[in-house]
Amino acid sequence: MKKKFIDLMKKELQEEKRFLKEILAPLAREIKNNVYEIRPPLMGEGDFEEREAKEDEEFGNRLAVIEKLKERLDEVNEALKRIEKGDFGKCQSCSKKIEVEVLLANPAAKFCKKCLKKKL
């Protein structure tokens, strides 16, 4: 794998990492402060219980989004570690080279096309 290509992948991964951290920070803070609980019920906003159920659902959705973002951040961090180790672009399943187009679509890709297909 060419150094120039790896440098490009590294740059993309670092950018994605920064982006993920930027959107994760306020979301995590919001969950921590649990804004849904401290916000007093508003008058005339419809059925209170119904509103509460809706907020629970929103809260759950938000947690699910955060989980997804964290998973992606882990993947990105792992890929950056593989670059440091000189292991970048190696399929984690069969140890063969991951195709360039796969890496271009997802610089944090762990598997080659063949192994990816097997996993689907």
Rule CB under 5 A: which residues touch Zn ion?
A: 91, 93-94, 112, 115
CB of 6 to Zn ion, least distance (A): 19
Contact assessment for residue 112 and residue 97, using Cβ atoms and an 8 Å cutoff: yes
Report the residue number, 23 or 94, with the smaller CB distance to Zn ion. 94
CB of 90 to Zn ion, least distance (A): 9
Report the residue number, 65 or 94, with the smaller CB distance to Zn ion. 94
Please list, in sequence order, all residues whose beta carbon lies within 8 angstroms of the beta carbon of residue 6, skipping any fewer than 6 positions away. Answer: 83, 88, 89
The C-alpha atoms of residue 17 and residue 10 are separated, in whole angstroms, by 10
CB of 94 to Zn ion, least distance (A): 3
State which amino acid sits at residue 13.
L
Report the residue number, 30 or 99, with the smaller CB distance to Zn ion. 99
The C-alpha atoms of residue 25 and residue 28 are separated, in whole angstroms, by 5
Both structure tokens of 17: 């990492």
Contact assessment for residue 61 and residue 80, using Cβ atoms and an 8 Å cutoff: no
CB of 98 to Zn ion, least distance (A): 7
Report the residue number, 20 or 109, with the smaller CB distance to Zn ion. 109
